[in-house]
Amino acid sequence: MDTFVFIAVLAAAACHAGWNALLKLDLEPIVATALVAVASGIVVVPFALLAGLPHAPAWPYLIASVVIHIGYYLALAEAYRSGDLGQVYPIARGSAPLLTAVLATMLIGEGLSVHAWAGVAMLAAGILLLAARGGRQGRKFDTRSVSFALLTSLTITAYTLVDGVGARLAGSAAAYTAWLFLLSAAAMAVWGFARIGPRLANELRANWPIALAGAALSTAAYAIAIWAMTVAPIALVAALRETSVLFATLFSTLLLREPWLAARIAATLMVLAGALLLRV
């Protein structure tokens, strides 16, 4: 993988972990997720006007991605209602790299080198170790949050493949990204109003700094990832994005006061080793 692409995807991973950390701060996760999604649509309006419309062949993928992203937002919010960031986030991201690599090979024909497969496997193993042993000591296993985290992982695999192909057909990664966030924002606004009513607008007015910060991090993270998937294999970009668990672990420890465990240290080293293999 090209050095610039490698560094850009690492930056996207940090942004992604950042906006997920915001979901665990002051707001109820379902409310926070809706606010971030709606604010993301506001943030990308200028970019949508500048970039124009994606090419026609990309629109079926764009619509499919919006539907999948709505499922992603809802599953993620439900997972965070009772689960720790330091455990839910790794589960949500953990199995996606391997599944994406396998499906990209089967469906798109993107073959990976032995080093790349080893890197993907090492990343997934480290992330899943965080999921299995990264929660608070003595905390009861929460079947509900884990189940929603696994559902989130499936949606990640689905939208990654859809967006990787769709962005390549769009003629412009920027146009594809902007319209994806615009349409997702409209859908989440409808859902949010149906779920919590006028409270959605009140929460947006009261918490606009958090919403805009989350929106900026979210759009930057995925804009970089979509661009990267147009210039590098989808499976490699998807795997490298999951180094975001390193940043999530850091945020969960420093900001949310979740415990730093020996398993988290071991898993962190495994994820770093996987990232280095991907770079090779």
Query: Six-digit token pair at 46?
Result: 């200028």
Q: Across residues 214-220, what is the average pLDDT?
A: 84
- Spatial separation of the C-alpha atoms in residues 23 and 165, rounded to whole Å: 29
pTM of the model: 0.77
Considering only residues 157 and 6, tell me which one the structure prediction assigns the higher pLDDT: 157
Contact status, residue 275 vs residue 119, Cβ threshold 8 Å = yes
Residue-wise pLDDT for 38-86, tens only, equals 888 999 999 999 999 999 999 999 999 999 988 888 888 788 776 766 6
- Whether residue 73 contacts residue 37, with contact meaning beta carbons closer than 8 Å, is answered with yes
CA distance 196 to 176: 30
Do residues 102 and 238 make contact, with C-beta atoms less than 8 angstroms apart?
Answer: no
The pLDDT tens digits for 12-48 are 777 766 666 665 556 676 777 788 888 889 999 999 9
CA distances 202 to 206, 208, 236, Å, are 6, 10, 41
Do residues 204 and 31 touch, judged by C-beta distance below 8 A? no
Q: What is the reported pLDDT for 180?
A: 95
What six digits make up the tokens of 136?
């608070």
The reported pLDDT for the residue numbered 149 is: 82
List, for residues 236-276, the tens digit of each pLDDT value. 887 777 777 677 666 666 665 665 566 666 776 777 677 66
Of 220, 276, 224, 264, nearest in space to 84 by CA:
264
* Residue-wise pLDDT tens digits, 169-183: 999 999 999 999 999
Angle, vertex CA 126, rays to CA 255 and CA 68, nearest 5: 75
With CA atoms as reference, report the closest residue to 139 among 192, 198, 87, 70.
Answer: 87
Distance between CA atoms of residues 208 and 243, nearest Å = 28
Amino acid at 98: L
